[in-house]
Amino acid sequence: MDSAPSPDRTGVGYLPAAARTLMKLVVTGPFGVGKTTLIRTLSEIATLHTEEAMTQSSTRVDSTAGLPDKTTTTVAIDFGRLTVPDDLVLYMFGTPGQERFLPLWEDIARGALGALVLVDTRRLADSFAVMDMVEEQGLPYAVAVNRFPDAPAHSDEVLRKHLDLDDTTPLVQCDARERRGSIDALIALAEHVLTRMPQPEDAS
Amino acid sequence: MTPGPARRLIPAYLVTGGRSRPAGPALDRLAVLVRTDEPVPDDAGTQARRLCELLEPGALTVVECAAHLDLPVSATVFLATDLAATGLLLTRPPIPSAGQIDRSLVERLLDGLRSLP
């Protein structure tokens, strides 16, 4: 065995020594909306994933009806990490927004700062159920429209109307492949989280 | 999201020895695991040994260890709890002391996000 292995010889991105506080947020939305792309854009480590067991609620889904009983379904949850100067580490978990993932969703979202709901303007209606679920969870969220090159562009005003967004819910338009816009989406979410927290004078 | 699992998962019961609860308070997904100087005993299990080896060069969260070792998060929690009980690992909660996200933390996050290049 080598006496002095290089710490990163395996490409494992170990936590910075200064890291003291770790937070997480959920990146959610319909399939194919760009959740993993956004996480990859922002993450300082190669995107990782865990295989998570899908429990009872998956049995309602039609697409599994032809499978034998007792088939264990797993879903891969992608995640990444972003260190924010100097000692905060933000984890981003890409979590599917469908109702059948609810038990898994609750597990991952517990203690999360909030959720970033990604929207594709070609499939606006697909995002309604996702926003309903996030609202039911009581998690603060911001909506980020992932602007695909071939998708129709709309003004914020039109999108807000079609998504039936509350006036206080932030809406940003970004390209999940671009870092600046993706960071701005995180900033919009964090600002929104802050406005929902009690003011210092209200705290006991 | 990436489609489907590319390989077989190791069943959790093989890692946990058939137990359904870890021998201590459940660790958060983002609990930080740190390897101590305690030598790995000769009778340590394969997965326990792999986890210790992974953590030799530096600290990682539970969920990152699970991803690197291709283990379920729940099994990784079991392993880490056992290894902490025998002094091979130290565990640290994701948010120090109070354990709650408060205004000052979110303000620091915002300042930090705004300062990113």
Domains (ranges, CATH) in chain B?
Answer: 12-115 (1.10.10)
User: Each residue of A74-84: pLDDT tens digit?
Assistant: 889 999 999 99
Among residues 51-80 of chain A, which lie with CB inside 8 Å of chain B? 51-53, 74-79
Residue A94 phi, psi (nearest 5) = -85, 110
- What's the domain range around A129? 21-59+72-197
Question: Does the structure show a pLDDT above 60 at A35?
Answer: yes
Question: Does the structure show a pLDDT above 70 at B19?
Answer: no
pLDDT at B6: 53
Q: Provide mean pLDDT across the span B38-66.
A: 96
Domain presence at residue A16: no
- Complex confidence, ipTM: 0.84
Question: How many domains does chain A contain in total?
Answer: 1
Question: Nearest-5° angle of CA A130, CA A134, CA A136?
Answer: 115
Domain presence at residue A202: no
User: Each residue of A163-197: pLDDT tens digit?
Assistant: 999 999 999 999 999 999 999 999 999 999 999 98
The candidate with the shortest Cα–Cα distance to A45, out of A19, A68, A14, is A14
DSSP characters for B49-106? HHHHHHHSSS-EEHHHHHHHHT--HHHHHHHHHHHHHTTSEEEE-SS-TT-S--HHHH
Q: Let me know: does A127 contact A117? Beta carbons within 8 Å.
A: yes
Is the pTM of the predicted complex or chain greater than 0.80?
yes
Question: Does the structure show a pLDDT above 50 at A132?
Answer: yes
Question: Does the structure show a pLDDT above 60 at A131?
Answer: yes
User: Each residue of A58-68: pLDDT tens digit?
Assistant: 444 445 454 44
The candidate with the shortest Cα–Cα distance to A99, out of A145, A150, A134, is A134
E strand residue ranges, chain A: 21-29, 48-54, 73-84, 88-96, 115-119, 141-146, 171-174
Name the strand (E) or helix (H) holding B35: strand B32-35
Chain centre to alpha carbon of residue A6: 33
Domain presence at residue A149: yes
Question: Does the structure show a pLDDT above 90 at B31?
Answer: yes
Task: Determine contact: A192 vs chain B, CB below 8 A.
Answer: no
* B61 → chain A, closest CA residue: A15
Q: Let me know: does A116 contact A90? Beta carbons within 8 Å.
A: no
Q: In the A/B pair of chains, how many CB contacts fall below 8 A?
A: 125
- Facing A5 at nearest CB: one of B30, B57, B61: B57
The candidate with the shortest Cα–Cα distance to A110, out of A204, A39, A168, A23, is A23
Contact list, A25 vs chain B (CB under 8 Å): none
Question: Does the structure show a pLDDT above 70 at A107?
Answer: yes
- Higher pLDDT, residue A6 or A151: A151
CATH number at residue A124: 3.40.50.300
The candidate with the shortest Cα–Cα distance to A165, out of A108, A111, A124, is A124
